[in-house]
Amino acid sequence: KISLLSCSGSRSSKTFKPKKNIPEGSHQYELLKHAEATLGSGNLRMAVMLPEGEDLNEWVAVNTVDFFNQINMLYGTITDFCTEESCPVMSAGPKYEYHWADGTNIKKPIKCSAPKYIDYLMTWVQDQLDDETLFPSKIGVPFPKNFMSVAKTILKRLFRVYAHIYHQHFDPVIQLQEEAHLNTSFKHFIFFVQEFNLIDRRELAPLQELIEKLTSKDR
């Protein structure tokens, strides 16, 4: 488990979102336990596959919540290194810069620092996950028709946090001995989005070399 001690300080705690819990006893909770059990086997390709007889929307929902929690924790460990001064723009290396827009509150993309961007991004994702009409937690409540497109947008944006950490903050990740954890989390994420074709290949370009390296052993 990751220590949360490095998430101290007023700004860090603001960026660090509370963990999104899947209610115990629910079917989604059982799915999450299934996912954790298959992950434990070490075979990530198998772990991401849709369990027999399960609903794809529900499987994507459970895993999206799980990735949000993982990325939230990983970013939480390096917030002290990701500041207005160190990261005045949200980037993933010199070729890729992201501007924030959520389509409702901020319609025209704005240029902002990485900590600000990630705060916007994680708050936005959290709002989607908390919306019962989008992510129903009760059994029998159907997923909306646009669920998959919302999930794709969430995952596309979460990828950007991984890309920023890898490009701009990999040294502190190594210092904190979080490298293996980050790689495993990202590899799991990539296998999942590849399995269900959830992120456009162009969006993955900032980490294409790493993706090829991490996934080549498991073809």
CA atoms within 13 A on the CB side of 37: 7
- Distance (Å) of CA 13 to CA 18, 83, 126, 150, 166: 9, 13, 15, 27, 21
Q: Give the pLDDT confidence score for residue 199 in this predicted structure.
A: 97
Amino acid at 164: H
Widest distance between CA atoms in the chain: 50
Dihedral angle computed from the Cα positions of residues 212, 215, 218 and 219, in that order, rounded to the nearest 10 degrees: -50
Backbone φ/ψ region at 163: left (φ over 0), alpha (ψ -120 to 50), beta: alpha
Q: Report the alpha-carbon distance of residue 78 to residue 186 in Å, rounded.
A: 16
What is the token pair recorded at 166?
A: 């890898």
Q: Are the C-beta atoms of residues 143 and 58 closer than 8 Å to each other?
A: yes
> pLDDT tens across 138-155, in order?
877 899 999 999 999 999
Listed as ranges, residues in the chain with pLDDT below 50 are 1-14
Q: Give the pLDDT confidence score for residue 40 in this predicted structure.
A: 66
Q: Give the pLDDT confidence score for residue 17 in this predicted structure.
A: 66
List the binding residues for Zn(2+). 82, 87, 164, 169
List the binding residues. 82, 87, 164, 169
How far is CA 168 from its chain centroid?
Answer: 17
Count Cβ atoms within 10 A of the Cβ of residue 173 and give its class: 0-12 exposed, 13-18 middle, 19 or more buried. buried
- Domains of the chain plus CATH, in order, are 52-216 (1.20.140.30)
